[in-house]
Every structure is written in C-alpha cells, then in structure tokens.
Amino acid sequence: MDLLENIDDRIRRLCREIAEESDADKVNELSVQLRHILRVQHNTTRLRLQNIAMRYGSQMRSAEAPSSPPTESGSRITALLTFLGLPSKKAA
C-alpha cells in the first residue's frame, strides 16, 4: 500500500504545484504529468476489476438476486464487501 500512498501524495503535490504556478508552460507540463498518473491509476483499477470479474464471475452469476433492491449505494458497497469476504463497518 505504500506505493498507492506515494501516488496519492504525488497527485496532491502536482495539484498544489499547478494551483501555485503562474507560468503557463510549467502548468501545462505539470498537467501532462497529472493526466499521465491519473490514466495509469484508471487503467490499474480497470485491470483489477477485470481480474475480480474473471476470478469471481461464476459466483456472481450464480448468486441469488436480493429480495429487494438496495435503497442506498452504501448497502450495495456493503453487499459487495460481504461477497468478497471483506469485513465492512456499518454506519451508526
């Protein structure tokens, strides 16, 4: 997870530099770096979700449909975490 934290820190740093920079050429250069990092993060997330779908796809297809649709997105997330066998904390 240290790598992810470093990427998050790098994104924050680039955003801060862009906000503070007055030179338009430097802002464009920093924006290109930021877009690249975000594109890499997006592709990494997409590949991870593809892996989950391939690995657990048959279980997802064979799972029973819920008796009633979730009313909040939080309950969908809780259901997904439960399905994946991860602990979830209920909001108080």
pLDDT in tens, 18-51: 999 999 999 999 999 999 999 999 999 899 988 8
Comparing 14-18, 45-49, 65-69, 81-85, the range with the smallest average pLDDT is: 65-69
Alpha carbons 25 and 16: distance in angstroms, whole number:
16
**Model pTM greater than 0.85?**
no
Alpha carbons 69 and 74: distance in angstroms, whole number:
12
Is pLDDT of 83 > 60?
yes
In contact, 18 and 30? CB cutoff 8 Å = yes
Query: According to the model, what pLDDT value does residue 43 have?
Result: 92
